[in-house]
Structure 1
């Protein structure tokens, strides 16, 4: 590594992404599952968008929210994985300072957006099951668009200070990031200043997003389960619960890795660094991979439409 990486500087022109520290020799092998997961995520989410766009019967609130989720997953994975793979395959480790800040913003902004979309999906299921007669009049296209805009604005405004705070700090030790992408915490740790403002603000964003969204989702599903268990027959209960099963699976696949990753990064001081980086990568790779699979398999309308497409191609 050149001396410029360790000499004094206030604003580095580039950062160096190590990839997965300690596992550099295995980068090519690690890239195989990463590339496979990314390809499946791209194909699956574009398929969801295509099916909803072409099937008139799917033009409803839940499917519009699913499209928002698919777009968010596409942006989130595409903001990180291509650069990660170029590092693993071609040893392209440099990233421009501004590009690093942009990547950081997109990661945190669209992660917060996913959380907001899950709240919107929980609201949709709550109205559909607990007050079905008012579902079409409550969640109109206009209301769905306003909810989507509110989710976007909340995420964009909350995470906007991240790159500005990072640009504010002086970097006088090194520009080598022991990570595979520009994670906020990983970059802030390189600064040679008291960065508690960044740490506190990061916690504030986590509690503002997860601390508000998770209780709302929990209360919604408690009410939904109460409504389901009050239905007269077992078949009706199972059928109604089936419409919520895919949402619950996707919610768990998003929040559990995010919570675990955030917790380990902040308090898992004894956890080896390669494990921390791998956990962070899984947090960005797994949800975009699982969401279209879960919705494609468990949502009957999407599954039926998908089968029709393959049947037509086969005939």
Structure 2
């Protein structure tokens, strides 16, 4: 009988040793990724059904760029040692005595070690500016890192909603016509500027602007742009670590016709890294460029056209005035 119990005990102990192997909790990374690339002339098409893109500067990662990272926990499963029943049988003539002792089990609870991630605090910047072009029904853009990220969305009424989580929600209605030399475009161009010194924020969209609103917000760190829940196309993302002046915003709205090519100081479409998940597609943006034979007019070309139109208007008014004189 003892020879039968020894193999059973060895089998039970082997199974427990296998199941007691410690497991490490891992963080799920984005499904696809790319190093720093020049995406000029390209656009991303996203699906609202799970499409998501993270943009970040080359040489960094979307996880390590955050100011605060979650806790790191190491856990070991229960360690249990069991021995089978031990039965002793004594047989004497006409009398049998059986003695049985139950299982002896030793159980230790989980052993958990929890250490917070090291937190790095970057110096505060004068502000932040985010510009991009989009062709969607909705927009949801989140700027990190920070313990208080900024999220910019477009409401069904067409106004821009800025959430800073710690403070009240701000609504920006870009219904103030500000620039006259911006021609109509298929793309919607939007710029968000946050001035940490003056504690104000403002949204620019095409030739219109919003009013400035007070916002108590300090931004610092490496930018990570999260675009999700978007059905459509996005392109030409630029981020500056300071509030843009109006002439710089105008330069972006006119594709660099005012003061030369533009380039984000901390994140630029011409040198950017990205990670995608869900339904996303990187393709050429030639589907939404000007048709052949209709080149984009520069600011000087628009100025000449405007002067030519004004000249024709003056000539027409002069003809009308001469006719009036003759009728008298």
Q: TM-score, normalised by structure 2?
A: 0.21
Q: Which is greater in Rg? A: 2
Q: TM-score, normalised by structure 1?
A: 0.22
Greater helix share, 1 or 2?
A: 1
